[in-house]
Structure 1
Amino acid sequence: MRRPKNQQNEPKTAIPRPLAAAAAVLAWLFSSAFAQAQDTPDYFRQNCMNCHTIGGGRLTGPDLKDVTKRQTRDWLANFLTNPKAVLDSGDPYAQKIFEESRRVPMPMAPGMTRERAEKLLDLIEAESKLPESQFKGLQISTAPFTAADVQAGRDIFTGRQRLASGGTACIACHSIHDIAALGGGLLGPDLTNVYDRLKGRASLSAWLVAPGTETMQPAFRNHPLKAEEIHSLVAYFEDAARYRPADPTGDRVTFLLLGLFGAAALLFAFDGAWKWRFRGVRRPLVDAAHKRGA
């Protein structure tokens, strides 16, 4: 069958394969360059802001504003790619950072390479030149504490007031002076005197913005505390500093006694249930025997 004349004269619109391949490569290159340009701020936000700000003051780690003016880029890049090796080498500047960070070592950031470290330093230098960096971090209130703040902090600690970001209540891992028996966790330390241990309001607030311990960092990385929650918790910890830490001995004795009473109650309950069941089976047998004897 012959095709219609109008179909025979249609021009071919297929793109030559070499041209299509070149277009695909160019598209990949442009998209890759765009992704890399966007990657560094996101990487800093996800992996560095837990412990650092740029222009917002110290958290667990130092404020990184103008850090390239305090130390050479080569040193900083080496530290970023392997902080443990630099610290273990006895480097005096690394030791200074370690002590100022309350002896919390900087962890190895995921996917860190020399190239990524250089890009992070470029980002920090650029952000340091701005009037206000996007990585300034959470700003904590300096308003005087009130009785309502203290009560709100206690409610947050005990879990009566849920954390806005869905984080775990303090009581799950910590105890404090006024928590009733069996009420506090033992995974973390008693926090009665944490206000004094961390040298007051500013340092404690900075710690709560970005907890740096191996147990707390994963728990709060995606569930950070809000500024008002930190304000209330610090108010509660300041008030708690007037008291002595809770004595876990009393809790252990109470737990033992409750266990003994609970076990005894269960034994009595099982004994009563067995006697009732035994009588329920025995009674029909006795009645049947009496009828046969009659």
Structure 2
Amino acid sequence: MKGAKLIPLALALLLGLALAQDGKALYGQRCAACHGSEAQGVPGAIPPLAGNPRGQDEAHVLKVIKEGISGPLEVAGTTYNGVMPPMPQVTEAEARAIAAYLKGLSGGSQEAQAVPQVQGDPALGRALYLGQRPLQNGGAPCQACHTVAGVGFLGGGSMGKDLTDAAKRLGGEAGLAALLKNPAFPVMREAYRDKPLTDTEAAALAAFLAQVSQEAPRPPSLYLGRFLVAGLALFALLLLYQAALWQMRPKSLAERIRAQLRR
């Protein structure tokens, strides 16, 4: 009887171990780029998951993966103000496996340990953002979908969100670099699935966006007005071009006769 009772317990233990092993691999794929390979987080930007009481709560972990979360959050005496978007690409089973792995990190450090960060060059980031310098793996420049204040007469693309305040919303320069390396936003994730940013590119773009975060976001009406002005200028140029072509056209017989009669 004792042996029979121990069998379910052993199976549950083995299942838990299997989930934790799968969860470690899934954590590496889905979470490590932002929260660190050891779940240590990024100091001041992204909270640690190791030793974080919220990370031990499976229901909370599942909810955050499904719905996302935003600050302010306090972990081990540090307040984090970033945003983690929802991750619909993570299935329920994968989320449970990740939660099981995080539960096994209860003995981790209570504080995020500093990890080496690539120093970002905002000038390079601006060139990459505008497409003046191509991304190494062939990805589209950010301006194709996004706009930021103070860059470009007509702004940028309207498909994505205005990135002027991205550094303030998404965990500062370090948080941005982590998100750029491992996009959680569905459209961006698909666009760069086979064309990931390098560490240097992510750091440079993050540094550039941190720099422009000091600018005030500009209303869409500003760019609409500029677009109308540019459109009118182009229309005037087309009229001048048509007038020049009209003057250069071959004269008809009637026009030649009238010109001779006026002499």
Asked if the contact 1:205/1:231 (under 8 Å) is kept, the reply is: yes
For residues 23-38 of structure 1, the aligned pairs below 5 Å read: none
1:66-117 per-position Cα deviation (integer Å, ceiling 9, x unaligned): xxx9578xxxxxxxxxxxxxxxxxx5542244334846333246xx897xx6
Asked if the contact 2:119/2:204 (under 8 Å) is kept, the reply is: no
Q: Distance in 2 between matches of 1:193 and 1:204?
A: 11
Given the alignment, which residue of 106, 110, 113 partners 2:87?
Answer: 106
Q: Percent identity?
A: 27
Gaps of 5+ in 2: 1-21, 71-82, 106-114
Given the alignment, which residue of 63, 80, 86 partners 1:95?
Answer: 63
AA in 1 matched with 2:212: A
Q: Distance in 2 between matches of 1:141 and 1:173?
A: 30
Q: Distance in 2 between matches of 1:285 and 1:202?
A: 75
Asked if residue 280 in structure 1 is aligned to residue 251 in structure 2, the reply is yes
* Cα drift, residue 177 of structure 1: 2.0
Asked if the contact 1:55/1:63 (under 8 Å) is kept, the reply is: no
* Cα drift, residue 151 of structure 1: 0.9
For residues 57-136 of structure 1, the aligned pairs below 5 Å read: 57=39, 70=56, 92-97=60-65, 98-100=67-69, 102=83, 104-108=85-89
Given the alignment, which residue of 186, 189, 192 partners 1:220?
Answer: 192
Corresponding position of 2:239: 267
Change (3 A) 1:63 1:108: farther
* Cα drift, residue 271 of structure 1: 3.5
TM-score of the aligned structures, taking structure 1 as reference length: 0.54
Query: Matched residue of 2:208: which SS?
Result: helix
* Cα drift, residue 143 of structure 1: 5.6
Q: Distance in 1 between matches of 2:133 and 2:116?
A: 20
Q: Distance in 2 between matches of 1:247 and 1:113?
A: 39
Asked if the contact 2:64/2:86 (under 8 Å) is kept, the reply is: no
AA in 1 matched with 2:253: R
Given the alignment, which residue of 194, 202, 221 partners 1:230?
Answer: 202
Corresponding position of 1:193: 165
1:177-220 per-position Cα deviation (integer Å, ceiling 9, x unaligned): 22121142221122122111112233222211111112101111
Q: Distance in 1 between matches of 2:253 and 2:239?
A: 22
Q: Distance in 1 between matches of 2:232 and 2:145?
A: 25
Number of residue pairs the alignment of both structures matches? 204
Q: Distance in 2 between matches of 1:96 and 1:107?
A: 11
Corresponding position of 2:153: 181
Asked if the contact 1:190/1:246 (under 8 Å) is kept, the reply is: no
Change (3 A) 1:193 1:62: closer
Change (3 A) 1:254 1:174: same
Query: Matched residue of 2:192: which SS?
Result: helix
Q: Distance in 1 between matches of 2:118 and 2:184?
A: 25
1:158-186 per-position Cα deviation (integer Å, ceiling 9, x unaligned): 11121111111111111112212114222
Q: Distance in 2 between matches of 1:270 and 1:210?
A: 51
Give structure 1 regions of 4+ aligned residues with deviation exceeding 4 angstroms.
61-65, 69-72
* Cα drift, residue 247 of structure 1: 4.1
Asked if residue 239 in structure 1 is aligned to residue 215 in structure 2, the reply is no
Given the alignment, which residue of 139, 142, 153 partners 2:117?
Answer: 142
AA in 1 matched with 2:199: A
Asked if the contact 1:163/1:225 (under 8 Å) is kept, the reply is: yes
Q: Which one has a bigger Cα radius of gyration?
A: 1
Query: Matched residue of 2:175: which SS?
Result: helix
Asked if residue 210 in structure 1 is aligned to residue 182 in structure 2, the reply is yes
Given the alignment, which residue of 215, 225, 233 partners 1:253?
Answer: 225
Query: Matched residue of 1:171: which SS?
Result: helix
Asked if the contact 1:52/1:62 (under 8 Å) is kept, the reply is: no
Q: Distance in 2 between matches of 1:210 and 1:196?
A: 18
* Cα drift, residue 285 of structure 1: 6.5
